Amino acid sequence: MMEILEEVSLFIHQNELLNPGEKVLVGVSGGADSLCLLDCLHRLGYEVFVGHLDHQLREGSSEEAEAVRRMAADLGLHAVIGREDVQAVADQGHSLEEAGRLVRYRFLIDTANEFGIKKIATGHTSDDQVETVLMHFLRGSGPSGLAGIRPMTNLTDWVGFGDGEQIKLIRPLLSLDRAQTTAYCEARGLQPAQDPSNLDETYFRNRIRHELIPILEGYNPAIRQVIRRTAEIMAGEAELIQELLAAEWDDYITEEADHSILFSRDVFLERPLGLQRAFLRAAIQHCLPDIRDLGFGVIERSIHFLSAEENDGRIPLVGGLVLHRYHKLAGIALEGEGFHFSIYPQLTGEVFVPLDTSFQVPLDGGWALEGERVSASEGLRAQLREGLEAKEAVFDIKRMGGGLKLRTILPGDRIRLLGMKGRCKVSELYVNEKVPRGAREHWPLLVDGEDIIWVVGIRSAHSHRVTPETEEVLRLSLKSPGGDGHDPKI
Amino acid sequence: MMEILEEVSLFIHQNELLNPGEKVLVGVSGGADSLCLLDCLHRLGYEVFVGHLDHQLREGSSEEAEAVRRMAADLGLHAVIGREDVQAVADQGHSLEEAGRLVRYRFLIDTANEFGIKKIATGHTSDDQVETVLMHFLRGSGPSGLAGIRPMTNLTDWVGFGDGEQIKLIRPLLSLDRAQTTAYCEARGLQPAQDPSNLDETYFRNRIRHELIPILEGYNPAIRQVIRRTAEIMAGEAELIQELLAAEWDDYITEEADHSILFSRDVFLERPLGLQRAFLRAAIQHCLPDIRDLGFGVIERSIHFLSAEENDGRIPLVGGLVLHRYHKLAGIALEGEGFHFSIYPQLTGEVFVPLDTSFQVPLDGGWALEGERVSASEGLRAQLREGLEAKEAVFDIKRMGGGLKLRTILPGDRIRLLGMKGRCKVSELYVNEKVPRGAREHWPLLVDGEDIIWVVGIRSAHSHRVTPETEEVLRLSLKSPGGDGHDPKI
């Protein structure tokens, strides 16, 4: 049995699963796979802890737990035996399989945390791999599903507790098959439980194992090897795309919060389809980290929706998420929640604006309004430029009288734009200027008494314009958080 | 049947398969799929030509050909009927399926060329797609295989005639299933041949169609849809990776010829696994454009071989190709063929080197040797630098006497290196200096009479060194094709 031990050792080394002598918690069901794993890791000199959860689903489950405890004791290892009423958890609205997985991994994570262990090992073999890939193929869970079980994953991400723990889930037996783990147990005198409570072995998986794989072997006798290779290659591609996405992530994102994400629709639409899919998948997972088996449909619908020529709009996604489409932006957030739009000037409440020689008024998120008095001729020149550079505006100080302040939109707000005849609704101006719907409510407006004299960064009013008779001018500039050179990505 | 016509029209539009009114050659077997395709394209206003190849494999094949001709005549379309003894081609060492495909596509390409047609359409449906993806899954042809049949491919690349034709193969019916094409033919009064000679319908494909798919439907009733979606997503990923590879291609390649490619092993090894696989696949296909179904094994073996710590080495790949491993380079070429190593200074034959005040001697591929006379003090300074900058060397002119020339290595060549005591073999110097094996034969050597005084760009000889007694110095510089600043990537 030296060969199997060496193969496990090589696999651990090649995939950098464990450092020499590292602490590792082994999830032991009592079956051949987990006993083989336990024995190998112990013999390879790792500091092994044994974790066993009694799912209380079958008669005799506590005897099995006792057997695991005895075996650990024989090897001189510390064992933690948990007990959970999995059926009761399932009754709260999970399938038995889901409930078992949730409870089991929570138990393993808690145990790992208790002993300061960073790696949890499970006994998945290449047979599990083949079955998993086939299950994913049949269910259509996409390329990352075809990658199957990875040698190492971030467990906390996977279960979605999201409490920042960096515990890894490792599968050191992924290069062995079940026949090898059974042979290993025999050779080492280990006595696996006949029917360990492995809840992953559902009806569907059993049908695949005992019925479908033999059928497929009639088409290609090497089907197991082919599927394992396919999984390896898919894993490589998935990693590549993740890497690519990680490198580009900041190009997309304009705002990231716990359950929401705001991104550049323009950047998104420039990308090839494969990357659009990967991005949306990652964005949805960002908003709902514990989502599993994200279907094809939601991704394709999202791409279709974002590619349409219309602007403002929204569609429901999954798990209460909503996809919002703006002009150059798009966002995903929980129903009823919005974005801060920190890439736009936004204002919470009202702010008094002084008429000092030179001043600065802070807006939300690092934006600011800078003011200074300039000469009439400079004011005139600036006014002529305004069409091009709406981040700046100039006003005739003599025409001011009501007291300057910044506020946000009120029902019925209107403005006569510089150079125009009639007055228009500010709400319509927002539509015309393609201000995203979600950014309108907190867009800053400069008012003099009752008159709106500047829709900040967009258009100024005719009333306070600079004329040849103007003597003194107030020049206001909108400053973005990134500094002067940084245009708002409106 | 308006719906089906509209669906075909939409699919053509979405995938940009044809321009309005464009000429298209339809490959018509006489079955429901191809009759539906022919009729749809004709009604949609394209300039349809009919191509039918009588494979002469069954009794009655010429009656089927005649039926196709009549149908084309009824629609007022031009039909070309070919006749080939496919069995005879198969007897030359192809499977019947392969022979049929080769002969059929050659016939279609010839016909397209004759009439100046750039698009050939075939009647592949979504059922063909599902079967193809399953066949690839079972055979393990990797992610691009799981992408299945694409709406449009470059036919000449695919068949590998490689004569620069830009004929595209399009599949306008890929969104329909067989039941739809049959229903369409019924509704339009078209009479498909009962058993058209479609050689793609091999025994393996038939088993998948009639046996495996119904079994898989027992696992997931929507399996056809799932597989179609999987194929779409795989196609997107494959395209993404191809795009990525195309953008990086020049970073890898140092030399590209018809059946060989030399690339930077360093760049290759820095890349993630998924891209390494894609690169090798593309590199092999560059060398053998008509290779099909490149297996997993050869790619994985190649990666393993290139990742090893050793340098010079070679392993056979497929189709007579050999993978060569050098120090910082690697290459693929047909057995017995080599590389020009144009990123290294190489010399064909011998060249006389003048002793003029200032001169240039051309080497192969844009490399050159520049010479000029400099003062003794400048020569001394240059000699002190030589360790750092082997692209330059200086020699005491008074020590020269035998006549300068450039030649390549001869058996037994030795040199006493500057500052060293004994003489070493030039062949060993090449090994120590990590000159790729393939670049040694044509590496230029500067000789004075019988003495090697410079292994160009690498090390110079002790005999002609500059000393405090030196009066006049010859300084030689090696210039790469890219100009002075461009270091050879040795």
pLDDT in tens, A396-412: 999 988 789 999 999 99
Contact A185, A29 (CB under 8 A): no
Q: Which residues of B touch A227 (CB under 8 A)?
A: 140
Q: Is B144 exposed, middle or buried (0-12, 13-18, 19+ CB in 10 A)?
A: buried
How many Å apart are CA B266 and CA B358, to the nearest integer? 38
- For the record, the structure tokens of B160 come out as 């590998």
Lowest mean pLDDT among A124-133, A188-197, A347-356, B42-51: A188-197
pLDDT at B161: 43
How far CA A446 is from CA of A257, A395, A437, A486, B303, in Å, comes to: 29, 11, 20, 22, 64
Q: Measure CA of the first residue to CA of the last residue in chain B; give whole Å.
A: 66
How many Å apart are CA B353 and CA B403, to the nearest integer? 8
The 3-state secondary structure of B57-95 reads: CCCCHHHHHHHHHHHHHHCCCEEEEEECCHHHHHHCCCC
Contact B36, B123 (CB under 8 A): yes
Q: Which residues of B touch A236 (CB under 8 A)?
A: 272-274, 277
Alpha-carbon distance A484 to nearest alpha carbon in chain B (angstroms): 34
Amino acid letter at A489?
Answer: K
> Within a 10 A sphere around the Cβ of B139, how many other Cβ atoms?
17
Q: Pairing between strand A351-352 and A358-362? A: unpaired
Q: Which residues of B touch A274 (CB under 8 A)?
A: 233, 236-241
Range from A28-42, A283-297, B265-279, B431-445 that averages highest in pLDDT = A28-42
Lowest mean pLDDT among A313-322, A449-458, B64-73, B200-209: B200-209
Alpha-carbon distance A488 to nearest alpha carbon in chain B (angstroms): 30
Predicted TM-score (pTM) of the model is 0.75
Flag whether pLDDT at A157 surpasses 70.
no
Q: Which of B140, B143, B220 sits opposite A139 (nearest CB)?
A: B220
pLDDT at A228: 92
Question: Given pLDDT bands bounded at 50, 70 and 90, which one contains residue A331?
Answer: very high
Flag whether pLDDT at A424 surpasses 70.
yes
How many Å apart are CA A361 and CA A347, to the nearest integer? 11
**Hey, are the CB atoms on B137 and A230 less than 8 Å from each other?**
yes
Longest dimension (CA), chain A: 103
The chain A residues in contact with chain B (CB within 8 A) are 137-140, 142-143, 146, 204, 207-208, 212, 215-216, 219-220, 222-223, 225-227, 229-230, 233-234, 236-241, 243-244, 272-275, 277, 296, 300
How many Å apart are CA B190 and CA B72, to the nearest integer? 12
- For the record, the structure tokens of A8 come out as 């496990």
How far CA A92 is from CA of A154, A198, B107, B174, in Å, comes to: 27, 21, 66, 45
Residue length of chain B? 490
Nearest CA in chain A to B245: A240
Mean pLDDT of A86-90: 84
* B281 φ/ψ angles, rounded to the nearest 5 degrees: -60, -45
Q: Which of B263, B287, B235 is nearest to A237 (CA)?
A: B235
How many Å apart are CA B107 and CA B118, to the nearest integer? 14
Q: What angle do CA B14, B16, B17 make, to 5 degrees?
A: 115
3-class state of residue A429 by DSSP: helix
How far CA A159 is from CA of A80, A165, A197, A319, in Å, comes to: 21, 11, 20, 16
CA pseudo-torsion sign A451, A453, A456, A460: positive
Contact A316, A335 (CB under 8 A): yes
- For the record, the structure tokens of A20 come out as 């020499």
Q: Is B18 exposed, middle or buried (0-12, 13-18, 19+ CB in 10 A)?
A: buried
Q: Which of B229, B240, B272 sits opposite A275 (nearest CB)?
A: B240
Helices and strands of chain A, counted as H and E runs: 18, 22
How many Å apart are CA B411 and CA A285, to the nearest integer? 66
Q: Which of A466, A456, A460 is nearest to A370 (CA)?
A: A456
pLDDT at A487: 46
Contact A347, A444 (CB under 8 A): yes
**Hey, are the CB atoms on B241 and A146 less than 8 Å from each other?**
no
pLDDT at A134: 94
- For the record, the structure tokens of B253 come out as 């390649």
Which residue is listed with tokens 């693929």? B332
Nearest CA in chain B to A278: B237
The per-residue pLDDT of chain A, averaged, comes to 86
Q: Which residues of A touch B237 (CB under 8 A)?
A: 143, 237, 241, 274
Which residue is listed with tokens 């010479």? B371
Question: Given pLDDT bands bounded at 50, 70 and 90, which one contains residue A1?
Answer: low
Amino acid letter at B428?
Answer: E
Nearest CA in chain A to B141: A230
Share of chain A above pLDDT 70, in %: 92
Contact B256, B285 (CB under 8 A): no
**Hey, are the CB atoms on A215 and B219 less than 8 Å from each other?**
no
Q: How many CB pairs under 8 A join A and B?
A: 104
pLDDT at B485: 43
How many Å apart are CA A474 and CA A371, to the nearest integer? 7
The chain B residues in contact with chain A (CB within 8 A) are 137-140, 142-143, 146, 204, 207-208, 212, 215-216, 219-220, 222-223, 225-227, 229-230, 233-234, 236-241, 243-244, 272-275, 277, 296, 300
How many Å apart are CA A269 and CA A274, to the nearest integer? 12
pLDDT at B333: 94
Amino acid letter at B424?
Answer: C
Longest dimension (CA), chain B: 103
Give pLDDT tens digits along chain B (490 positions). 569 999 999 999 989 999 999 999 999 988 999 999 999 999 999 999 999 998 877 777 788 889 899 989 999 999 999 988 888 888 887 777 778 888 888 899 999 999 999 999 999 999 999 999 999 999 887 777 889 999 998 875 544 444 455 789 999 999 999 999 999 999 999 988 865 545 455 678 889 999 999 999 999 999 999 999 999 889 988 888 888 888 888 888 888 888 899 999 989 999 888 889 989 999 998 898 777 667 778 898 999 999 998 888 899 998 899 999 988 889 999 998 888 777 788 888 899 998 888 889 988 878 899 999 988 888 888 777 655 457 888 999 999 887 899 999 999 999 998 888 889 999 999 888 888 877 888 899 999 998 999 999 888 899 998 888 888 999 999 988 765 444 444 4
Helix (H) or strand (E) holding B281: helix B273-287
> Within a 10 A sphere around the Cβ of A121, how many other Cβ atoms?
29
How many Å apart are CA B322 and CA B328, to the nearest integer? 17
What ipTM describes this predicted complex? 0.73
Side-chain-side CA neighbours of residue B102 (13 Å)? 18
Flag whether pLDDT at A42 surpasses 60.
yes
Question: Given pLDDT bands bounded at 50, 70 and 90, which one contains residue A175?
Answer: very high
How many Å apart are CA A451 and CA A444, to the nearest integer? 14
